[in-house]
Structure 1
Amino acid sequence: MYRKFTLATVATVALVGTATLVACSNSGTDEGTTVTTSGSASAADSASAAAPAEAVETQLFGASSTRVINDELTRLAGELDPPQDVALNNDGSGTLVTQLNEGADADVLITADTKSMDQAEADGTVGEPQELAANSMVMVVPAGNPVGIRSVEDLDGVDLVLCDPQVPCGGVSEQLEKLNDLDLTPVSLEGAVGDVLGKVTNGEAEAGWVYRTDALAAGDDVEVIDIPHANEASTTLWVATVNNSPNPEAAEALAKLILSDEVATRLEEAGFTPSN
């Protein structure tokens, strides 16, 4: 049996079909808008995630001898998460310990000897220290060795500069003087090993006793003469976080970096003997 379609029926079908097409068209537009909005949000989230973290400002109090690794240390600190912008204060260990005890702001302390770090612990200014590296002393003379010094036995009448006994490099110098049965008469005693080196390189002194690391850093500006028994009077560097650090987490991260294998490699290149 065949079904008859009237004109009204056809018109009704046409209207329904048109309505359906409009509905589908509107639905598609809504979905497209939703997808576009979702994509924009996702891109914004990605941009936000890709934005570099703001650097945390930290302060490192480092013994004068450690200045030779300053550049590498600040570079590596800038690669931490979050990155750190490290301000450096290099001076004699005793001076740094005194500054901390007087309330100076810092996050990490590195001393060039055990005595200074022991004092910082006794003052209650630092946490538990960790052994970092060892250093030993050599004698340096200006490039060309103007007065012809060949050994520690040639220092009579020479303008010799040493560290003050109150700082680590001075304590080591005193030990070496005794070990070598010498009676030295330095023309000046300096508060930091860098000052001893400076007087030799600028011609104010004819010889000076400095750490091996300082001699290496000076390059062609000096000539190096070994001091007998130097290994018997080596000094140990220590690192510790500061108890009143404004940012304890950043202080811990910086101390961990200083004790890392990466920094140990740089220490060795600079002439230190790393402890790890």
Structure 2
Amino acid sequence: MSTSIPFSPLPLSQADVSYEYGPDSFARPGVEPGAVEQFRMEASRHFPGTTRSVWVHRPAGHRADEPSAVMFFNDGWWYVDPDGDVRGGIVLDNLAAAHDLPQMIGVFVDPGLLDVDGVPTKHRNAEYDAFNGTYASFLLDEVLPIVQERYAVSDDPMLRGICGGSSGGNAAVTAAWTKPDGLGRAIAFNPSFAQIPGGNPHPALLTTEPRRSTRFFLHAAHRDLHWNEPEWNWLAESLDTAAAFARAGYDFRIVVGDGGHSPNHGGVLLPDALRWLWQPVQ
């Protein structure tokens, strides 16, 4: 049975495009809000000198003693903020109420802050743009154990995922790539692959490394940064990475939208991106 897509006119101008949110991005009558707990990390082995906040979301009816799936979200508060562009907690509540996801804990992790001569300084790009396993190890070895002190969490990497946008998007892909034994699913909204020091390694690696079971959801914006330039082209790097996923036979999906470098379209896509990402592996 085919899926019928309602007609939507194509915008002729791509200079200033925004997308309307669907019903799963708003608090719904009859859906009990989940619980959100915040804690502070005042130290880190993997990122010495950094501090950060973490928010843990559990939907209503969550059973603490039943091993749960886990979804990490980079740029924590930006993604969990109920009045923000993504509204991750609201989305997780609605999808849980509809039984569209396995029992899941959302872990929203802020990038680290460094004290530089008394001035709090973001450590975001150092953590998110680096192509190595440090950030993934930080999540799995430092953040996850704090969650596990409170709640039962599945050991299956296919029941652990990660989501992010911009630099947080390429951090999500890099984390899943470098730690496939810990993270089996990833969402990247308009990722900044072009900012990875030394260039985007994913297209070459995907064509030379053995195929993994990891599932990826990619989003690209047609007017992303440097979209029509030969260097630092964020749109082209996302398309190159998606093409490499296709050639390597990965279970992946790409959505290309209009507009520029904005969290709006990713926020609109989040409910269906999560639904797709967490389908049972065929």
Larger radius of gyration: 1
Provide the TM-score with structure 2 as the length reference. Answer: 0.29
Q: Return the structure number with greater helix share.
A: 1
Structure with the bigger RCO (C-alpha within 8 Å, sep 6+) is: 1
